[in-house]
């Protein structure tokens, strides 16, 4: 099930209850690309996001 995969990979997805009128979700995820282990963890998370149908937007921070 996609929800349990997202919860285990990305942490809790809140709210965890269905919303009748809600059709979209927005995920904010932050990465420090200058720290190797954090960049590697981001790459893994980004693959999971893509499998769930999310698209990435570079915030350019």
pLDDT tens series, the chain, 61 aa = 445 454 455 555 555 666 778 788 788 888 898 999 999 998 998 888 888 888 888 766 5
pTM: 0.56
Structure confidence at residue 17 (pLDDT): 65
Is residue 61 within 8 Å of 45, Cβ to Cβ?
no
Is residue 23 within 8 Å of 30, Cβ to Cβ?
no
Structure confidence at residue 1 (pLDDT): 43
Structure confidence at residue 27 (pLDDT): 80
């Amino acid at each position: 099930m996609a929800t349990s995969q997202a919860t285990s990979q990305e942490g809790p997805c809140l709210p965890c209850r269905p919303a009748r009128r809600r059709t979209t979700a927005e995920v904010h995820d932050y990465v420090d690309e200058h720290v190797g282990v954090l960049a590697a963890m981001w790459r893994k998370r980004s693959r999971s996001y893509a499998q769930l149908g999310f698209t990435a937007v570079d915030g350019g921070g």
